[in-house]
Amino acid sequence: LRYLYLQENRFTGRVPAKLGTLQNLRHLDVGNNHLVGTIRELIRIKGGFLVLRNLYLNNNYLTGGIPAQLANLKNLEIL
């Protein structure tokens, strides 16, 4: 799986951390939902998101700052 578009679905709850285990994922869009939690919860899987280029989390209810672990996502172009 390389592209996962889940935007504008009125999803609630936390962003599933299991998404971080999708090692071939290049594009993840979960924007415009009702998701809660932190970005840190999403990217805490060691070795996850190795080739991720685009990460859209906009217009949710995420809290906390931008974690330093984002620097480990070497291919990330859009946040």
Q: Where are the beta strands (DSSP E) in 1-79?
A: 3-5, 12-14, 27-29, 34-37, 54-56, 61-62
pLDDT at 52 (0 to 100): 94
Residues 68, 44 contacting (CB under 8 angstroms):
no
pLDDT at 30 (0 to 100): 95
pLDDT at 42 (0 to 100): 82
pLDDT at 17 (0 to 100): 78
Query: Where does residue 69 rank: exposed (0-12), middle (13-18), buried (19+ CB within 10 A)?
Result: middle
Backbone angles phi, psi at 15, to 5 degrees: -70, 125
Per-residue pLDDT of the chain (79 residues; tens, 9 = 90+): 999 999 999 999 998 878 888 889 999 999 999 999 998 888 876 677 889 999 999 999 999 988 888 888 899 999 8
Distance CA 19, CA 28 (A): 9
